[in-house]
Structure 1
Amino acid sequence: MTAADAQEGRRFADAVKPLVDAMGGEMVSPEEAKGDDVVLAWEGRDVVAVRLPHLSDSLDHILAELERRHGMPLAELDRRTKQSVVRVLESRGAFSVRHGVETVASALGVSRFTVYNYLNRETREGGDQGSPGA
């Protein structure tokens, strides 16, 4: 491998790093890749392997990122913003994770019942938007 190839590989890895970080993944060398890791190649050469987090770790990572984005603990957000957070989490599959509702409820400082109400509210509003006379 030439120095130019190595530099190009580093630029590729730098380009995908924000995406890997957003997913809560870890970048390792292709030689360190394990069975579940995703090896990324650039121009026919393995450049970097991405170790994806377990789904439950990913949910924790998403919640932490939402706290950073809002600049405060999620439990301190107003009701409307919490509802928005639930919509974001639903779109990212947070509630398909075992104990996802409980984890989100705890982070938001609300009950599971409240999270289900937020989800049902979104479903009702989404359904009404497409109906005649709504």
Structure 2
Amino acid sequence: MELRAEFTTEPFRGEGEPPEHAVRAREAAAKAGLAVDFGPLGTTAQGDADALVDALPAIARAALDGGATRFTLQLSVGDTTTPPETPPHTLERLIGEVEAQLGTRLVDLDRTGKQQAVRLLEERGAFAMRKAVVTIAAALGVTRFTVYNYLNRDH
């Protein structure tokens, strides 16, 4: 049986390199032989259920040893190799709406404008869509880490 673990580590930090706690958690998942999709504030590890469950304590410990103050975990059971995708036109439509509202393409906004765009997209539910952070980061011309930073500004 396949299992997927999606986890986040906090605190979120400013732009630049991913936090040490996120890097250490990723390394622990990779060392356990799991397939890892790394984001500095959100990481997915998947593989055989027994291997993943056995690796969870080491992943959590690595994050905490790296300075994490919170480790949030979500597990999904079943065939996780081909998760359903959100139709890209839905997210593209939301990005287009925000661009129309702000009067320019997201990539052309200054930092304050990009932060406002992220807030508007969040209000519209864009971040509930699969792969939204990657798509939005590309539209803004920033890293995924920067998008997570913008999301965290108001929380």
TM-score (norm 2): 0.42
TM-score (norm 1): 0.48
Q: Which has the higher helix share?
A: 1
Q: Which structure ranks higher in relative contact order (CA pairs < 8 Å, sequence separation ≥ 6)?
A: 2
Structure ID, larger Rg:
1
